[in-house]
Structures are given as C-alpha cells and as structure tokens.
Amino acid sequence: MTTTQLPSPGRRLADPAPAAPPSKPRRRPRHLREQISGWGMIAPAAVLLLAFVFLPAILGFGLAFTNARLVSPRPVEFVGTDNFARLFADPVFWRSLLNVSYFAVVVVPVQSGLALAMALLINKKFRGVNFFRTIYFLPVVTSMVVVSLLWLFMYRKDGLINELLSAASFGLISGPDWLNDPATAMPAIIALSIWQAAGFHMIIWLAGLQSISGELYEAAQLDGASRWHQFRYVTWPGLTHTRTLVLVTITIQALGLFDQVSVMTQGGPLDSTTTIIYEAVRSGFKQQETSYASAISLVFFVLVLLISAVQRYLTREKD
C-alpha cells in the first residue's frame, strides 16, 4: 500500500501552490496546447465551484446590505449597513461568538490530542489493529444528526450517561440534567462533538505518522533515546505539516458548529449553546429575515478568514 508513497517534499501545507522542487529547471510555460488542455481540465470543477459556491456566496453577501425577507410582498431595498449595526448591537450575537470560542478553545486541543493518542495507539502493527482502527473510525461514519439524536436521548436526566456515571461511582455521582443546565449544556455538546470527530483526525495523524521514516526511530533507539525522547525529537517534528492540517480543519469545523445545537438544544438554555451559524439559520429560516442572516454569514466568513490568516502566520515555516 505504501509503495507509491514517496517522501513528502518540504512544502507548506497552507501554501496552496507548492513551488516545484528547486532543483528542477524552470521551464517557460509550454505552448498554447498545454494552456488549453489545462484549462479544459480545470474547467469542470472550477465552473461547478463558481456556480454553487462563489455565486450564491456573493449573492448572499449582497443580500446582507438589503432588507430582503424570505416571505414578503415588499420590494427589496438597499439599506446600507443597517443589518450590521443591528448585529453588533445584539447581545445574542456576542454570546454566540463567545460560545463558539469556548467550543473551539476546548475542542481544538482536546480533539487533536485525543486523535493523536488514538493514532499512536494503532500506528503499530499488532493483532487486531484493523479491528481497533474500524472501531475508532465508527463514530465518524455515523451521521451527526443521528449522533445528536442518540446523545440527546443518552443525556436525559435519567439517561444512559447519568446511569453510567452513577454505576461507575457506586452511586456517588448523580449527574446533572446535562442539556438543560446552562453550565453543562456546552460541555455536553463538546463531549459529543469530540467523540464523533476524533476518529477523522486520528486518520490524518496516522497518515502523518506513517510518513515518518522508520529509520529515524531505529537511529534514535541506537542512541538509547527513551520513548518520550523519540516522540519529542522524532515524531513531533515529523508531524509539522500534519499539525497544521489538523489545526486548520478542526478550527473550521469548530467555528461552524451547527448540527448538534440544532438537534439538541436549539441554542438554549439561556443562549448557552447558540452559535453563529445557528443564529444565521434561525434568523434566515424561522424568522424569515434573510438579509440579517446574510449579514451574520458575511461576518462569519470574514472571521474565519482572519483566523485562518493568523493560523497560517503562526504556523508558517520559519526558514
């Protein structure tokens, strides 16, 4: 399986267009035919993305400056930045920002850490490795809607989670009403989210681990390096690119938190689980305020863009 795998050239993950290996002499762009067939091959995907992502996004962003409504006989009018003024004055928006930050700040390190631990546990060949890989990946293949329903049921006051806690503590702990307490609702959603998605990032880590040459470990062992040192000086540096990928994907996933909240808490109790996307969907659908929802989306987009830029800056290769 790994026969086709070649040492990964030193390229930046976040850098979209990796430079050709420097050893290779730069050719001038080849004749027209290459240009034409190249664009021909890019075209189908590019056209689809243009039509189904860029266009609706621009359309949506445009709506943010109007008073468009989902249901209304009134003509759409340009209202400037009214929607944004309203948004920034809305405490629920700031609360949703806070919630999402809370979610991201916990989920990003915990989920990536657990995923790395899982990847390390199944990186070696041993009897039953495929079994464990499958089990660890199982939550990922289960739909978030199904997962949320299932956990909704398990988080009840008399549900499975509390029964397990009680059994594990010999009756000492009687768990809270997880999703109905502003203090525990977000942690409950965090736990379920990590449970569902850790397997996915485990795979990404595993990919990174497998790309580290075994010879490096052998050399380290010859030098008498402890297992911690092997991890610290061989594994960890070998995962530089993987770290960036995991960081970026988990962050984007965390900021876009929606499904779980929509199924389990509808943003409650007391706005303790509401998120930016949830507010956008609630405004856009339930409250029919299309333009306001578009304004939220636009702010979200800018926010993610900023965070991605910062992350890219922080994880840039310092060479």
Partner 1 sequence: MKQTLNSTSLSSAAAMAVRILFAAVAAFPIVFMMVSSLKPDQQIFGDMSSVAAFLPIGNISLDNYAAVFERVPAARFLINSIGISAVTVVLGIFINSLCAFALSRMEIRGKRVVFTAILATLIVPFQTLALPLVWWVNQLPYFELNGFSLEISKGWLDTYQVQIIPFIANAFSIYLYHQYFESIPKELDEAARIDGAGWFTIYRKVVMPLAGPATATVAILTFLPAWNSYLWPLMVVQSEELRPVMIGIQYFFQLNVSWGEVMAYASLITIPVVVLFIAFQRSFINSIASSGVKG
Partner 2 sequence: MNKRFTRILATSVAAAALVGSLGACGKGSASAPSVGSNEITMWTHNAGNAEELKAVENIVDSYNKSAGAKAKIKVQAFPQDSYNDSVVSAAASGKLPCIVDIDGPNVPNWAWAKYLTPLKLDADVSKNLPSTVAKWEGETYAVGTYDVALAMLARASDLKAAGVRVATVEKPWTKDEFQDALTKLKALGKWEYPLDMGTAGTGEWLPYAYSPFLQSFGGDLINRDGFQSADGVLNGDKAIEWAQWFRGLADQGFMAKKSGKDSTQDFLNNKSGLLYTGSWAADKARAAVGKDLVVMPSVDLGTGPKIGGASWQWGVTSGCNNSAAAMDYLSYSLKPENLAAVAKATGTIPATDEAAALLPEYAKGGTNRIFMELSRNYAVMRPETPAYPFIATEYGKAVQDILAGADPKTALDKSVKAIDANIKSNGGYKN
Q: With CB under 8 A as the contact rule, which of the stretches 67-75, 223-231, 233-241, 306-314 interacts with partner 2? A: 67-75
Distance CA 300, CA 258 (A): 13
| Contact criterion met (CB below 8 Å) for 280 and 297 | yes
Angle at 154 between CA 150 and CA 156, to 5 degrees: 125
Closest distance to partner 1 from the beta carbon of 60 (Å): 4
Comparing CB distances to partner 2, the nearer of 249 and 287 is 287
Give strand pairing partners of 66. 78
- Out of 115, 204, 289, 299, name the contact with partner 2 by CB under 8 A: 289
Distance CA 157, CA 178 (A): 7
Strands (E), 113-166: none
- Out of 27, 75, 89, 314, name the contact with partner 1 by CB under 8 A: 27
Instruction: Check binding of 67 to partner 1 (CB under 8 A).
Output: no
Distance CA 248, CA 16 (A): 13
DSSP, residue by residue, 146-163 = HHHHHHHHHTSTTSHHHH
Instruction: Check binding of 150 to partner 2 (CB under 8 A).
Output: no
Residues 117-136, interacting with partner 1 (CB under 8 A):
117-118, 121-126, 130, 132-136
Q: Which of 150, 54, 106, 148 is nearest to 251 (CA)?
A: 106
Residues 198-257, interacting with partner 1 (CB under 8 A):
199, 203-204, 206-208, 210-211, 213-214, 217, 221, 227, 230, 241-242, 244-245, 252, 256
Q: Please give the size of the binding site for partner 1, defined by CB under 8 A.
A: 114
In terms of C-beta density within 10 A (0-12 exposed, 13-18 middle, 19 or more buried), how is residue 250 classed? Answer: buried
Comparing CB distances to partner 1, the nearer of 89 and 158 is 158
Closest distance to partner 2 from the beta carbon of 146 (Å): 15
| Contact criterion met (CB below 8 Å) for 205 and 137 | no
Instruction: Check binding of 284 to partner 1 (CB under 8 A).
Output: yes
Instruction: Check binding of 259 to partner 2 (CB under 8 A).
Output: no
Instruction: Check binding of 23 to partner 2 (CB under 8 A).
Output: no
Backbone angles phi, psi at 239, to 5 degrees: -105, 15
Q: With CB under 8 A as the contact rule, which of the stretches 15-23, 175-183, 197-205, 311-319 interacts with partner 2? A: 175-183
Give strand pairing partners of 78. 66
- Out of 288, 303, 304, 307, name the contact with partner 2 by CB under 8 A: 288
Q: Amino acid identity, residue 67?
A: N
**What residues line the site for partner 2 (CB under 8 A)?**
1, 4, 67, 69-74, 86, 156, 177, 179-180, 182, 266, 268-271, 282, 285-289
